[in-house]
C-alpha cells in the first residue's frame, strides 16, 4: 500500500479491525464453550473455523492452498508447520480442512475466554519451562485424540524474525513416533509480510500454504529421529 491508502487502512485497522476481531473472539469463544458442553467436538470446530475465516476476511487476508490432494479429512496427522506470524493460527484454522488440536504455550491459557475456549477445543497446553508438565500434557493428548483429529506443532518453538527456518525442536517428532500417526509437513509463506513478529502493523496480503505428502513413521525408532526431523525440515523449506 502507499500514500493515502495506507493512512486510510491505519484508521480502519485501529477503529474497526482490531475492535471487531476482539469482539468476534469473545462471541465465537463463548459459542465454542457452549458448543463443547452441549454439542461436542464437531460443533466446536465449526465455530473455530468461522471465527478464523471472519478474521481473515476483515484483514483482508487471502490464502492460497496448494497440495490439498496430499491429505484426507478422514485421517489423523501430526501437522508440522513453520511459524512466521501470529496470523499462521487463523490461516491454518480457517483453510486447512482438518480438525486441528493446537499445541500452545501455557501462558495463553490465562487469556479470558480465549484460553478456556482453546481448552474446550482440545488444545494442548505446554509449559516450555517444565519438562514434566509438557510430557504429561502430551500423554493426555495421546489418550484423548479422536480418529479424525490432528495435532499441530510449530516445531521452531517461536516465530521467525526474517522468514528463515529456525532449528526444529524434537517434541512433535517424539509425539508422532509415540502415536504412530504420520507427519504432515506444511509450509506457510509470506504471512510474515501480513503481520511481522512483535508488531501490530498488520497489512492486507496473500499467504500461501503448501501441504506436502505425509511422512510415514511406522516401524521407525528413536534412532531415526534426527533423520525424520531433517527430512521434515527440508520438505518445509523446499516451498519457502
Distance between CA atoms of residues 178 and 71, nearest Å? 21
Distance between CA atoms of residues 94 and 223, nearest Å? 36
pLDDT digits (tens, 9 = 90+) for 202-229: 999 999 999 999 999 988 888 899 999 9
Closest by CA to 84, choosing from 162, 151, 140, 12, is 162
Average pLDDT over residues 188-199: 94
pLDDT digits (tens, 9 = 90+) for 4-55: 688 899 999 999 999 998 898 888 877 777 777 777 667 778 888 998 999 9
Q: Give the pLDDT of residue 83.
A: 96
Q: Give the pLDDT of residue 29.
A: 75
Confidence of residue 230 (pLDDT cuts 50, 70, 90): very high
CATH number belonging to domain 61-237: 3.40.1130.10
Average pLDDT over residues 151-159: 92
Q: How far is CA 16 from CA 8, 85, 91, 105, in A?
A: 11, 21, 20, 29
Q: Give the pLDDT of residue 88.
A: 96
Q: Which burial class, exposed, middle or buried, applies to 88 when counting CB atoms under 10 A from its CB (0-12, 13-18, 19+)?
A: buried
Distance between CA atoms of residues 214 and 33, nearest Å? 32
- Range name among 3-17, 59-73, 137-151, 207-221 with the lowest pLDDT average: 137-151
Confidence of residue 153 (pLDDT cuts 50, 70, 90): very high
Q: Give the pLDDT of residue 24.
A: 86
Confidence of residue 132 (pLDDT cuts 50, 70, 90): low
pLDDT digits (tens, 9 = 90+) for 81-108: 999 999 999 999 999 999 888 777 777 7
Which H or E run contains 178?
helix 171-179
Three-point CA angle 163, 106, 162, nearest 5°: 10
Which of 100-104, 171-175, 184-188 has the largest mean confidence? 184-188
Q: Give the domain ranges of the chain.
A: 61-237
Task: Identify any residues that bridge with 186 across adjacent strands, giving them in sequence order.
Answer: 81, 211
State the DSSP string of 40-67: -HHHHHHHHHHHHHHHHHHTTEEEEEE-
Q: Give the pLDDT of residue 99.
A: 87
Q: Give the pLDDT of residue 30.
A: 78
Q: Give the pLDDT of residue 102.
A: 78
% of residues, the chain, pLDDT over 70: 85
Amino acid at each position: 500500500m502507499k500514500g493515502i491508502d495506507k493512512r486510510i487502512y491505519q484508521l480502519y485497522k485501529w477503529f474497526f479491525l482490531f475492535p471487531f476481531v476482539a469482539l468476534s473472539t469473545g462471541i465465537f469463544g463463548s459459542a465454542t464453550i457452549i458448543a463443547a458442553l452441549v454439542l461436542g467436538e464437531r460443533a466446536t470446530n465449526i465455530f473455530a473455523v468461522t471465527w478464523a475465516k471472519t478474521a481473515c476476511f476483515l484483514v483482508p487476508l487471502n490464502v492460497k492452498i496448494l497440495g490439498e490432494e496430499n491429505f484426507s479429512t478422514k485421517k489423523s496427522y501430526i501437522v508440522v508447520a513453520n511459524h512466521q506470524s501470529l496470523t499462521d493460527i487463523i490461516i491454518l484454522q480457517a483453510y486447512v480442512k482438518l480438525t486441528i488440536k493446537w499445541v500452545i504455550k501455557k501462558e495463553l491459557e490465562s487469556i479470558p475466554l480465549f484460553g478456556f475456549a482453546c481448552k474446550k477445543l482440545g488444545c494442548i497446553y505446554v509449559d516450555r519451562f517444565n519438562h514434566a508438565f509438557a510430557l504429561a500434557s502430551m500423554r493426555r493428548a495421546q489418550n484423548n485424540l479422536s480418529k479424525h483429529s490432528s495435532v499441530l506443532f510449530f516445531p521452531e518453538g517461536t516465530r521467525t524474525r526474517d522468514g528463515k527456518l529456525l532449528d526444529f525442536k524434537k517434541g512433535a517428532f517424539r509425539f508422532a513416533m509415540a502415536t504412530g500417526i504420520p507427519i504432515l509437513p506444511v509450509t506457510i509463506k509470506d504471512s510474515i509480510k501480513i503481520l511481522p513478529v512483535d508488531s501490530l502493523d498488520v497489512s492486507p496480503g496473500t499467504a500461501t500454504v503448501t501441504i506436502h505428502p505425509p511422512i510415514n513413521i511406522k516401524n521407525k525408532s528413536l534412532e531415526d529421529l534426527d533423520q525424520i526431523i531433517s527430512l521434515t525440515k527440508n520438505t518445509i523449506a523446499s516451498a519457502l
